[in-house]
Amino acid sequence: MSQPTIHATSPSNVPAKEASGPWRDAWRAFRKNKTAMLGLGIILFFVMIALLAPWIAPYDYKEQELVNRLKPPSAQHWLGTDDLGRDLFSRLIYGARISLWVGFFSVIGSMIAGTILGVLAGFYGKWIDMLISRMFDILLAFPSILLAIAIVAILGPSLQNALYAIAIVNIPTYGRLVRAKVLSLRTEEYITAARAIGMKDSRILITHILPNSLTPIIVQGTLGIAHAIIEAAALGFLGLGAQPPDPEWGKILSDSRQFIQKAPWTVIFPGLSIMLTVLGFNLIGDGLRDVLDPRMKK
pLDDT at residue 218, rounded to an integer: 85
* More confident position, 294 or 293: 293
Residue 160, strand partner residues: none
Number of domains in the chain: 1
Phi and psi for 87 in degrees, rounded to 5?
A: -65, 120
Give pLDDT tens digits for 150-180: 999 898 888 899 999 999 999 999 999 988 8
Number of residues written out for the chain: 298
pLDDT of 187 higher than 90? no
Domain membership flag for residue 57: no
- pLDDT above 70 covers a percentage of the chain that reads 90
What DSSP line would sit under 167-229, residue for residue?
A: HHHTHHHHHHHHHHHHHHHTTSHHHHHHHHTT--HHHHIIIIIHHHTHHHHHHHHHHHHHHHH
Domain membership flag for residue 238: yes
- Which CATH number do you get for residue 238? 1.10.3720.10
Give pLDDT tens digits for 193-205: 877 887 787 787 8
Q: Which of 11-20, 66-75, 217-226, 263-272 has the lowest mean pLDDT?
A: 11-20
Cis peptide before 172 (omega within 30 of 0): no
pLDDT band at 289 (very low <50, low <70, confident <90, very high): confident
Q: Which of 96-105, 122-131, 149-158, 267-276 has the lowest mean pLDDT?
A: 122-131
Q: What is the CA radius of gyration of the chain?
A: 25
Q: Taking CA 223 as the corner, what is the angle to CA 245 and CA 27, rounded to the nearest 5 degrees? A: 120
Per-chain mean pLDDT for the chain? 84
Domain membership flag for residue 283: yes
HSE of 97, CA atoms in CB hemisphere, 13 A: 15
Domain membership flag for residue 23: no
Give pLDDT tens digits for 206-219: 887 887 788 888 88
pLDDT of 10 higher than 60? no
Domain membership flag for residue 40: no
Domain membership flag for residue 53: no
How far is residue 109's CA from residue 68's CA, in Å, rounded to a whole number? 41
Strands (DSSP E) contained in the chain are none
How far is residue 268's CA from residue 249's CA, in Å, rounded to a whole number? 11
Q: State the pTM of this model.
A: 0.82
Closest CA to 221 of 273, 165, 282: 282
Which amino acid, one-letter code, is at 71?
Answer: K
Give pLDDT tens digits for 223-238: 889 899 999 888 988 8
Give pLDDT tens digits for 14-30: 445 555 666 677 778 78
pLDDT of 125 higher than 80? no
Give pLDDT tens digits for 34-51: 898 999 999 999 999 999
Helix axes 265-292, 88-124, angle to 10 degrees: 30
Domain range for 240: 92-296
Closest CA to 154 of 164, 143, 139: 164
Print burial letters for 236-263: b (CB count within 10 Å at least 16), e (below 16): bbbebbbeeebbbbbbbbbbbeebeeeb
pLDDT band at 1 (very low <50, low <70, confident <90, very high): very low
